[in-house]
Amino acid sequence: MTPGVKPLIAGNWKMNGTRASLRELVAMAEAYDGAMRKRLDMLVCVPATLLHAAASAALGSRLMIGAQDCHVAASGAHTGDIAAEMIADAGAVAVIVGHSERRTDHRETDGLVRAKAEAALRADLLPVICIGETGAERQAGQTLDVLGAQLDGSLPSAPAVVVAYEPVWAIGTGLTPTMADIAEAHHFVRERLVARHGPAGRAMRILYGGSVKPANAAEILAIDHVDGALVGGASLKSADLLAICACCPG
Ligand code: PGA
């Protein structure tokens, strides 16, 4: 954690969930009571098909709803794409950009990720910008160089964003870096954010993502400069995500 920074626990449902899954979301919203709201912010990024229904189901609870990607343009001839403005119109308040699955599956570059983050800010959405090294890059000792280049290329000039460090090899694999490796990466990201944004960089949230689950959350969330988690598989069930929330110090 970072002193004075409110943690954010964010779920990423990826390409999972139908209207029946809103049951889980309602259970999360109901559990997100006054005491929890004081301790942490909570966000669930659902598939685009569920954005409006999820935002309606969470209405009045302060559980935030987010999307998982956006187009850079506000509207136009882009079949199948969704504008940040449309996400906001559906009742969502945040969007993940640059997730490694999009960087890989859709060949998204740092420049495109930055443009998407700027589009999100234009629509008053909170961008959650993902960075992370592959297994091969870690083996080759390039982790911090990769993170530095991704930060330089993917971050907009405004500091009103969240950064999520997600080692690609740790996503959905059950593998996690050592606590020392997570600490090293987050410390490095913090230094870069402060170098870039000055004092505002000290208050920016840096999430860890990659196989976070109730069994390892307490240990990970206690690390310096880990200001929350981006949770994939374990965010699909309310009991799991709430158990991770319960691990947040403070
Ligand atoms: P995971 O996914 O928790 O299932 O590893 C994390 C993510 O991709 O955001």
Indicate if ligand 1 lies below 6 Å from the C-beta of 12. Answer: yes
Virtual CA dihedral for 61, 216, 213, 62, nearest 10 degrees? 10
Mutate to test the pocket of ligand 1, among 12, 96, 104, 220 (most ligand atoms within 8 A of CB): 12
| Averaged pLDDT, 209-213 | 98
What does the alpha-carbon distance between residue 233 and residue 244 come to, in Å, rounded to a whole number? 12
Q: What is the pLDDT of residue 97?
A: 98
66 assigned to some structural domain: yes
39-65 pLDDT, tens digit each: 999 999 999 999 999 999 999 999 999
177 assigned to some structural domain: yes
3 assigned to some structural domain: no
pLDDT at position 250 over 80: no
211 CA from centroid of ligand 1 (Å): 6
In this structure, what token pair is assigned to residue 134?
A: 């592959």
Residue nearest to atom 3 of ligand 1 (CA): 232
Indicate if ligand 1 lies below 6 Å from the C-beta of 156. Answer: no
What does the alpha-carbon distance between residue 213 and residue 33 come to, in Å, rounded to a whole number? 21
| Averaged pLDDT, 15-38 | 97
239 assigned to some structural domain: yes
Residue nearest to atom 7 of ligand 1 (CA): 232
pLDDT at position 224 over 80: yes
Look up the CATH number of the domain holding residue 192.
3.20.20.70
Q: What percent of the chain has pLDDT over 90?
A: 98
Q: Which domain holds residue 107?
A: 8-246
62-85 pLDDT, tens digit each: 999 999 999 999 999 999 999 999
| Residues facing 45 on adjacent strands | 12, 66
Confidence grade of residue 172 (pLDDT, cut at 50, 70, 90) = very high
Average pLDDT score, the chain: 97
Indicate if ligand 1 lies below 6 Å from the C-beta of 235. Answer: no
1 assigned to some structural domain: no
198 CA from centroid of ligand 1 (Å): 30
Per the structure, the count of domains in the chain is 1
Indicate if ligand 1 lies below 6 Å from the C-beta of 40. Answer: no
Q: What is the pLDDT of residue 249?
A: 82
Q: What is the pLDDT of residue 29?
A: 98
Residue nearest to atom 1 of ligand 1 (CA): 232
2 assigned to some structural domain: no
86-100 pLDDT, tens digit each: 999 999 999 999 999
| Averaged pLDDT, 132-152 | 98
